Amino acid sequence: MKVSIITATYNSEKTIRDTLESVEAQTYKDIEYIIVDGGSTDQTLTLVDSVSTRVSKCISEKDKGIYDALNKGVQLASGDIVGFIHSDDILARPDIIASIVAEFERADADVVYGDLVFIDRERTDKVKRYWASGTFKKFKIALGWVPPHPSFYMKRSLYIEDGVFDISFKIAADYDQMLRILKRDDVKISYLPEVIVKMRLGGESTKIDNTVLSTKEIARVMGMHNINWRVAMVYRKLSKFMQLFSKS
């Protein structure tokens, strides 16, 4: 199976080397690596050219935000499977894409997701929090549960059938998109109990303004999907708190 991995970038020179090297190191051969750049003015594109030999497609132009960039990546993708790695994140180990593909094949799955660890922004070997996604159960959706989006790999055919990211959302479009898929009865979902991605803390999503916007957008998504946002928000907060006590 061919795997399309998409990275959206914008002035990412401080972190993208680690991202590129983690894709470069993958043992799985049939990878289409797509870079969608928002018109960087720093050394991002120079690093893409110098560090990675696996980039199949690279575009650089203004976009309407991260989800617009990811949509462009999906449109460029030709793989059987599509996944994302952000420009400040790192694939967990060199054989992780091979493990994901093996799980697709073993389970005859449409979606495979796994775990994620949050790491120190500077000391990337230091794990700060472990997000264990757990086995998929449909009732969890009503509690606001979804797996971490960077661990979420899906057949490209589902993007064609069910649409891409709603760019009216600035932060929660991935939550909305995953819910659309997870709620379907005809989609086979498999949990791979392994860390797929290491995510740096201290990025844009952790800023106070973005946290407030994220909460508002998540509540809006929940309303669209008939989820009781008051109950679900409490569950999500409790889940994040419990992650502090999880270990890899």
pLDDT digits (tens, 9 = 90+) for 192-240: 999 999 999 876 555 545 778 888 999 999 999 999 988 888 877 778 7
Dihedral Cα 200, 167, 63, 51, nearest 10 deg: 30
Residue 88 scores a pLDDT above 70: yes
Judge contact between 117 and 127, C-beta under 8 A: yes
Determine phi and psi for 170, rounding to 5 degrees. -95, -30
Its pTM surpasses 0.85 = yes
CATH 3.90.550.10 is right for the domain spanning 3-243: yes
Question: Which pLDDT belongs to residue 202?
Answer: 76
Query: 24-28, 83-87, 128-132: which range is least confident on average?
Result: 128-132
Please tell me the chain's helix, strand, coil percentages from 3-state DSSP, rounded to the nearest 5.
40, 25, 35
Mean pLDDT of 140-147: 93
Q: Is pLDDT at 246 greater than 60 in this prediction? A: yes
User: SS3 string of 155-174?
Assistant: EHHHHHHHCCCCCCCCCCHH
Q: Do 135 and 103 touch, CB atoms closer than 8 A?
A: no
Non-local CB neighbours of 228 within 8 Å, separated by 6+ positions: 142, 222
Task: Tell me the pLDDT tens digit for each residue of 16-57.
Answer: 999 999 999 999 999 999 999 999 999 999 999 999 999 999
